[in-house]
Amino acid sequence: MECECGQSGSFMSNKKKPEHRVDRMQLAVYFITEVRTVASGPFGETSRTGVQVAQLVTEQQLLLGLPARRIVLGFYPSTRGTTETMRQTFPAYALMENIDLLNSSRCRTEMEAFRNGVDNKILWSLRVLNNNGMPSPAFVNGNNFWLGDGPNCKFMSENHTLTFSKEVLKNNSIYRNPEEEFPPFKVHYFAARIRHNSTLQYHTEVTQDENLITLGFCLPASCTNHDIATMLEKVLNDRKLLIGELFSADFKLVEVTDLVNDYQWLLSAKIIFIVYGQSKDKKVPPLTIRIKQYIEMFIKRYIRLTPAYFFVILLAIFYFTWHDQVSIVLPRERLNVVCSKYWWTNILYINNFYHWDKICLSWSWYLPNDIQFFLFGNFLLLLSDTHYNTAISLGIVTILSSLGSLLYFSYTLDFEPTLDKIYKTLTDLYIRPWVRIVPYLVGMVTSYLLTKWNYKLHLSRKSLIVGWILSILCNCSIIFSTTNKNIPFSLSIIYSILSRAGWSLGIAWLIIACCTNHGGIVYKILSLDIFIPLSRLSYCAYLVNPFVILIICTLRNFPSYIDYYNVVSIIK
């Protein structure tokens, strides 16, 4: 970085400094002019030190009546260091230094023309270079998506441009040569996947490939994946990229792909109890009839759930097989790989007995639990016809066993409600039927009580108020008790054991109050006709919604930062 300080060490230009009476707008214009005078960009002719510019900014702050703040600035070196800067900053430019390794004469020739164009600042070459990926901000926070601009790379290859009026085109031709807008050869968009070992980057251990960088390249179409891999391995082995030195990272190439076509449960228990209570005779039917009824109920439920379920599985396999060939972003769930191997576990509704990473459509863990609870709940109802006390005892033992398994796994797995721990314990504490059945059984007990009371419950106003307050406090405490994730281990275990049971008890009161005419405005809102068509769409929406989100996110050409403001726009 050059310094052009005078003998007095002044950092100001020869322009007259503004007086204190000058208004702030004039000072702001003066400030911008001065900064542009003393500092230049990567292709500028002169630049001054960051210290000088910091002094300038401080002086302007004081003149504007603002408190002086510490300024940290960084600038590219002047043109005398441009080549080295380009090599360290742009991976695509670093590739061009290794074209001697290529056997393909056409790829080598076009890469050389690309490099010469950049060195001579020819418009088409700068546009192509601008579509290449480079190290992005927030690397320490986990941003490993150095994607570049794939769509524009494709548009350049097809000579696509914006349509302007003749006046605008004529004006633009003063500053740029229209004949140099597009490269003299076809370009394709490639993706390189690189693994790094920097210990400075934050890893949540939520996904397996948190150290995998995706780097986009817009390069001559004549180059093969092997050509690019050959040059890129040399760049990575020689540690030419500045980001490797800055963040103490070594890089290892994983693969290069050609992306030329880049566009392209409580309520359930209540229901079965009601249906069973309405359909069973006062006289207990023979055993064979009861078994037949049991099988018929299962078949009807299976036929109702499976067709749409199977269709979404097929759609996931076909779509993500195509997606692997056209998208630069690899989803965490390789649905085409997992579903091709484990689809049968979904159709048999046993996929919740497999590890989380081996579940086709990971969000479908709910369905096997629902089917299994449906079978178990109906079994208890059938058993209660002839052996009531046995059925009650079996239900109580099941609840205690479920709470005991939650205690065991929470303790042995050191559970705490943080992002990484929740992910690591998904298999044992989230999807298994023995840790999920308590709310279902609470729903059955709720329906039993309503049936026994004949949906009539006489409560004083005080009792109703206490019931609603306890219900709201119960559910709200479960939702907000883990706002601070790093709670003591003992509280984590208590939360893990009681949260689902407590939540189901809060909902149980809501059901009892509404079904016994104590629901008030809550009952009126929940009984609106508008919810009827929505309820019929909820199953398919549940199956398709995560699938649509995956499609939208994986077809983006830039990383998405999820926060409170853009999470809705991403789904749109």
pLDDT in tens, 518-556: 888 988 898 888 888 888 888 899 999 888 888 877 776
- The answer to whether residue 115 scores a pLDDT higher than 70 is yes
Question: What pLDDT, on a 0 to 100 scale, did the predictor assign at position 176?
Answer: 66
Strand partners, 193: 214, 255
Question: What pLDDT, on a 0 to 100 scale, did the predictor assign at position 536?
Answer: 83
Q: Let me know if residue 334 belongs to a domain.
A: yes
Question: What pLDDT, on a 0 to 100 scale, did the predictor assign at position 21?
Answer: 42
- The answer to whether residue 61 scores a pLDDT higher than 60 is no
Structure tokens at 115: 């490099």
- Mean pLDDT highest for which of 1-10, 434-443, 547-556? 434-443
How confident is residue 468, by pLDDT bands cut at 50, 70 and 90?
very high
**Which DSSP symbol is given to 19?**
P
Q: Let me know if residue 442 belongs to a domain.
A: yes
Gap between the Cα atoms of 11 and 35, Å rounded: 10
Question: What pLDDT, on a 0 to 100 scale, did the predictor assign at position 3?
Answer: 42
* Spatial strand order in the sheet of 251-258: 145-146, 212-220, 187-196, 251-258
Q: Are residues 308 and 229 in the same domain?
A: no
Q: Let me know if residue 62 belongs to a domain.
A: no
Among the ranges given (167-181, 231-245, 414-428), the one the predictor scored with the smallest mean pLDDT: 167-181
Q: Are residues 397 and 469 in the same domain?
A: yes
Q: Are residues 95 and 173 in the same domain?
A: yes
Q: Are residues 327 and 234 in the same domain?
A: no
- The answer to whether residue 22 scores a pLDDT higher than 50 is no
Higher pLDDT, 241 or 59: 241
Number of domains comprising the chain: 2
Q: Are residues 253 and 323 in the same domain?
A: no
Q: Are residues 238 and 193 in the same domain?
A: yes
Among the ranges given (3-7, 224-228, 363-367, 512-516), the one the predictor scored with the smallest mean pLDDT: 3-7
Q: Are residues 218 and 181 in the same domain?
A: yes
SS3 (DSSP) at 243: helix
- Arithmetic mean of pLDDT, 192-210: 75
- The answer to whether residue 348 scores a pLDDT higher than 70 is yes
Q: Let me know if residue 564 belongs to a domain.
A: yes
Other beta carbons within 10 angstroms of residue 510's beta carbon come to: 20
Among the ranges given (184-188, 383-387, 507-511), the one the predictor scored with the smallest mean pLDDT: 383-387
Q: Let me know if residue 55 belongs to a domain.
A: no
Q: Are residues 251 and 358 in the same domain?
A: no
Residues 6+ away with beta carbon under 8 Å from 100: none
- 251: Cα separation from own chain's centroid: 24
Higher pLDDT, 509 or 79: 509
- Arithmetic mean of pLDDT, 96-103: 84
- 9: Cα separation from own chain's centroid: 52
How confident is residue 66, by pLDDT bands cut at 50, 70 and 90?
very low
Q: Let me know if residue 279 belongs to a domain.
A: no
Identify which of 253, 261, 262 has the alpha carbon closest to the alpha carbon of residue 214. Answer: 253
Structure tokens at 175: 């500053």
Question: What pLDDT, on a 0 to 100 scale, did the predictor assign at position 94?
Answer: 86
Give one DSSP letter per residue of 435-465, joined into a string: GTHHHHHHHHHHHHHHHHTTT-----HHHHH
Q: Let me know if residue 474 belongs to a domain.
A: yes
Give one DSSP letter per residue of 116-183, joined into a string: HHHHTT-HHHHHHHHTS--PPS-TTTT--EE---HHHHHHHHTT------HHHHHHHTTTS-GGGSS-
The tens digit of pLDDT for each residue in 207-254 reads 667 788 888 889 998 888 888 888 888 888 887 788 777 777 778 777
The distance in angstroms from the start CA to the end CA of the chain is 46
The tens digit of pLDDT for each residue in 267-311 reads 555 555 555 555 554 556 677 887 887 888 889 889 999 999 999
Q: Are residues 445 and 528 in the same domain?
A: yes
- Arithmetic mean of pLDDT, 6-20: 41
% of the chain with per-residue pLDDT over 90: 19
- The answer to whether residue 2 scores a pLDDT higher than 50 is no
Helix axes 531-554, 287-326, angle to 10 degrees: 30
Question: What pLDDT, on a 0 to 100 scale, did the predictor assign at position 341?
Answer: 92
Gap between the Cα atoms of 98 and 231, Å rounded: 6
Higher pLDDT, 259 or 98: 98
- The answer to whether residue 7 scores a pLDDT higher than 50 is no
- Arithmetic mean of pLDDT, 3-29: 41
CB contact at 8 A, 142 and 159:
no
Q: Are residues 330 and 244 in the same domain?
A: no
Q: Are residues 444 and 305 in the same domain?
A: yes
Gap between the Cα atoms of 431 and 363, Å rounded: 10
- Taking the whole predicted model, whether its pTM rises above 0.75 is answered as no
Structural domain that includes position 154: 80-258
> Where on the phi/psi map is residue 470: left (φ > 0), alpha (ψ -120 to 50), or beta?
alpha
- The answer to whether residue 409 scores a pLDDT higher than 80 is yes
- The answer to whether residue 432 scores a pLDDT higher than 70 is yes
Q: Let me know if residue 237 belongs to a domain.
A: yes
- Arithmetic mean of pLDDT, 112-136: 88
Question: What pLDDT, on a 0 to 100 scale, did the predictor assign at position 353?
Answer: 94
Question: What pLDDT, on a 0 to 100 scale, did the predictor assign at position 549?
Answer: 82
Question: What pLDDT, on a 0 to 100 scale, did the predictor assign at position 28?
Answer: 44
Q: Are residues 213 and 358 in the same domain?
A: no
Gap between the Cα atoms of 336 and 318, Å rounded: 7
